[in-house]
Amino acid sequence: MKVFKNLLLFPKYDDKDMLRRLKEMGYDGVEIPLFSGDDAYYDKFGAKLRDIGLGVTTVGVVDRKHNPGSPNPTIRKRGVNYLKNRVRWTNLLGGKVFCGPVGALPWGVRPKVRTIDELANIVGESMKHGIESMREVGDYASELGVEQVAIEPLTHWELPGMNTVQTVCEFLKQVKHPSITALVDSSHEVLDGAGPTEFQKCVEEIIKVLQRRIHVHASATHRGSLRYTWINWNLFFLLLLKAGWDGDGSGIVATEEFDAVPPFLNGVKLTRPRFTDLFAVAEESLKVVREGFDNAKAILESKQSQGRYSKLEIAALA
């Protein structure tokens, strides 16, 4: 497993001192938000990352004006081109994974409806339009060697649909493109998912049946410290490992925390106090993820060798 640091935690993504410090801390790479920029900027940024020795993944969102699932063909085309730009920037940075809530619904936009059935119809139509859009984005990603466009499910107050790994899995079955896959985020799945058993089953279907690699975010529901959360990291990583993730040791997990600052103040409705030491947060998250992963591997190896649950596995599942 490789651990990357999602840079939403920091105010300036390309600060060389910050990047060097993350490398020295033990991070294998960084995940760069692609909110703005141009080809020249990301080409230069990629050279900086290579000089420091950090791997890279990228993350983005789509808004109402760049929605690949819009019923309006002009907006839909604009959305496809917007995503192609992000895929190209990922390639210029040297990355193989572009992720985020980019499938068929704009972030933070909830249609005004009178019934849940009406909302379901609107979401269903958007996802139908999104199928062809994501195929086009997937083709472009394949041409550039970007291996994964990983769609992230978000909790219901951020997106009106695509709220769980299960819903993304169903979307992937319709898209049928090897470059279009899923991002698994611990926060959103705990908030909206159907529980550990269904989570493992869906991840296993994506990996073993659809034969896709998946990307992973380790994030607390409050978007704060990974140490102080209801999420059991031993269990989270155990479910991923049992589903077939990181089978060859190349799995990437990005630790994700951020403060209640624009654009997240209203979008995700954070209320906790702001961080006082960003590097301390990053260092603690790295420890938490590695501990959870190592414990999960020990649990799995114990189960395989003994043919029964170990005390550690019972504790993780409690």
- Amino acid 40: pLDDT: 97
Q: Which residue has 């209801």 as its token pair?
A: 230
- Amino acid 160: pLDDT: 63
Cα dihedral 122→206→194→121 (10° resolution): 10
Residue 115 in this model has a pLDDT that exceeds 90 = no
- Amino acid 114: pLDDT: 72
Of the candidates 219, 191, 215, which has an alpha carbon nearest to the alpha carbon of residue 203? Answer: 215
Q: Mean per-residue pLDDT for 134-159?
A: 91
Kindly tell me the burial class for residue 112, based on how many C-beta atoms sit within 10 Å of its own C-beta (0-12, 13-18, 19 or more): exposed
Q: Mean per-residue pLDDT for 177-189?
A: 94
Q: How many CB atoms lie within 10 A of CB 223?
A: 19
Model confidence over 231-274: pLDDT tens digits? Answer: 999 999 999 999 999 988 899 999 999 875 665 656 666 666 67
Q: Mean per-residue pLDDT for 137-161?
A: 88
Residue 72 in this model has a pLDDT that exceeds 80 = yes
Model confidence over 43-65: pLDDT tens digits? Answer: 999 999 999 999 999 999 998 89
Higher pLDDT, 156 or 64: 64
**Cβ atoms 202, 189 nearer than 8 A:** no
Of the candidates 129, 122, 121, 85, which has an alpha carbon nearest to the alpha carbon of residue 103? Answer: 129
Q: Mean per-residue pLDDT for 86-107?
A: 92
- Amino acid 120: pLDDT: 75
Residue 305 in this model has a pLDDT that exceeds 90 = no
Distance CA 309, CA 303 (A): 5
Q: How confident is the prediction for the chain on average, in pLDDT?
A: 88
* DSSP bridge partners of 57: 31
Q: Mean per-residue pLDDT for 179-192?
A: 92
Model confidence over 189-223: pLDDT tens digits? Answer: 988 888 899 999 999 999 999 999 999 999 998 88
Chain Cα centroid distance, residue 226: 16
- Amino acid 313: pLDDT: 63
- Amino acid 49: pLDDT: 97
Chain Cα centroid distance, residue 79: 19
Which secondary-structure segment (H or E) carries 6?
strand 2-6
- β-bridge pairing 148-151 and 252-255: unpaired
- Amino acid 314: pLDDT: 60
Reported as a pLDDT band with limits 50, 70 and 90, residue 118 is confident
**Cβ atoms 188, 152 nearer than 8 A:** yes
Distance CA 258, CA 33 (A): 12
Residue 101 in this model has a pLDDT that exceeds 70 = yes
Range of the domain at 110: 2-317
Q: What is the CATH number of the domain that holds 268?
A: 3.20.20.150
Residue 135 in this model has a pLDDT that exceeds 90 = yes
Residue 308 in this model has a pLDDT that exceeds 70 = no
Higher pLDDT, 267 or 139: 139
Chain Cα centroid distance, residue 173: 19
Task: Give how many domains the chain has, as a whole number.
Answer: 1
